Amino acid sequence: MTPKEAEAHKLTHNLFNAAKISFFNEQRIIYDSEKIDTDIVFALVAETSEAIWNPMYGIRNMGPYGGACLPKDMEGFVAWASRRGYITPILKSVHKINKLMNQKTRI
5 shares a domain with 55: yes
Number of domains in the chain: 2
**pLDDT at residue 58 in the model:** 80
66 shares a domain with 93: yes
71 shares a domain with 22: no
| pTM score, whole prediction | 0.83
48 shares a domain with 87: no
- The residues of the chain scoring below 50 in pLDDT are none
What CA–CA distance (Å, rounded) separates 72 from 85?
Answer: 20
pLDDT tens digits, residue range 7-24? 999 999 999 999 999 999
**pLDDT at residue 81 in the model:** 97
**pLDDT at residue 105 in the model:** 62
What dihedral angle (degrees, nearest 10) is formed by the CA atoms of 1, 63, 56, 50? 150
Domain region containing 103:
62-107
